[in-house]
Amino acid sequence: MIEVHQITKNYQLGKAKFTALSDISLTIQPGEMVAIQGRSGAGKTTLFNILGCLDTMDSGTYRLDGQQVEKMKDAELAALRCKKIGFVLQEFALINQQSVLFNVMLPLFFDKMAYRTMKTRAMEALHKVGIANLARHKTNQLSGGQRQRVAIARALVNYPEIILADEPTGALDSKTAGQIMQLISELNQQGMTILLITHDDKMAAYCQRRIVIEDGKIIEDQLTQ
């Protein structure tokens, strides 16, 4: 379960202070698929980074499965990310000159895992996203949709409980975007918690809940299904 209470995040821009998030409170239950929407600069990415334990807030509390995140040190946050969270990004963030298999295995190198175990888990993730046959291809040889499937497989390789996806279809055509969202929906149906940052109402419609942020505040939080 994700529980945040009155979190605030400010940035110093020269002599001025910019409030990216202001007293944000929300609870996300295990197994939910939630769209987070808002205009550019509304605070979506800041919230994404805080929920993903990539950034800290200035005030408020954040509990992830009962663990008090704001009190953790950097090494503890890194371990929590590795264990609990998988990330899917709009620009894929793949190493183009390396193979699909290498890219999917990459998060496991930090666990000092045996190569055979890493390969087995990476192939398992590639089977889940339907591109195990491309394991030996370089990622720069793939289409946009295939590259996003690689990114999703990489997010799955550590068996996370939560997937945070930041505009995962933003660089894709509408047909491919629909295929990727269907895949993400299937992961949710298997019990995974999905948080989707998107500006696209069509993509948000795949989610059971919609949260809208404006000027760093939640202005809408409602069930859609």
98 falls within a domain: yes
11 falls within a domain: no
Q: What is the pLDDT of residue 51?
A: 95
61 falls within a domain: no
Q: What is the pLDDT of residue 170?
A: 84
Q: What is the pLDDT of residue 16?
A: 85
20 falls within a domain: no
13 falls within a domain: no
Domain that holds residue 112: 31-56+85-223
Give residue 110's Cα distance to chain centre.
19
Give residue 170's Cα distance to chain centre.
14
Could you list the pLDDT tens digit for every one of the 225 residues in the chain? 999 999 999 998 888 889 999 999 999 999 999 999 998 889 999 999 999 999 999 999 999 999 999 989 999 998 899 889 999 987 788 999 999 999 999 989 877 789 999 999 999 999 999 999 999 999 999 999 999 999 999 999 999 999 999 999 888 889 999 999 999 999 999 999 999 999 889 999 999 999 999 999 999 999 987
Q: Specify the number of domains making up the chain.
A: 1
Give which of 90, 81, 184, 168 is closest to 128, Cα–Cα. Answer: 184
218 falls within a domain: yes
Neighbouring residues of 51: CB distance < 8 A, sequence distance ≥ 6: 2, 4, 62, 164, 195
Give which of 9, 11, 21, 4 is closest to 214, Cα–Cα. Answer: 21
Rg (CA), the chain: 18
63 falls within a domain: no
Phi (first) and psi of residue 2, to 5 degrees: -105, 125
43 falls within a domain: yes
Residue 120: CATH number of its domain:
3.40.50.300
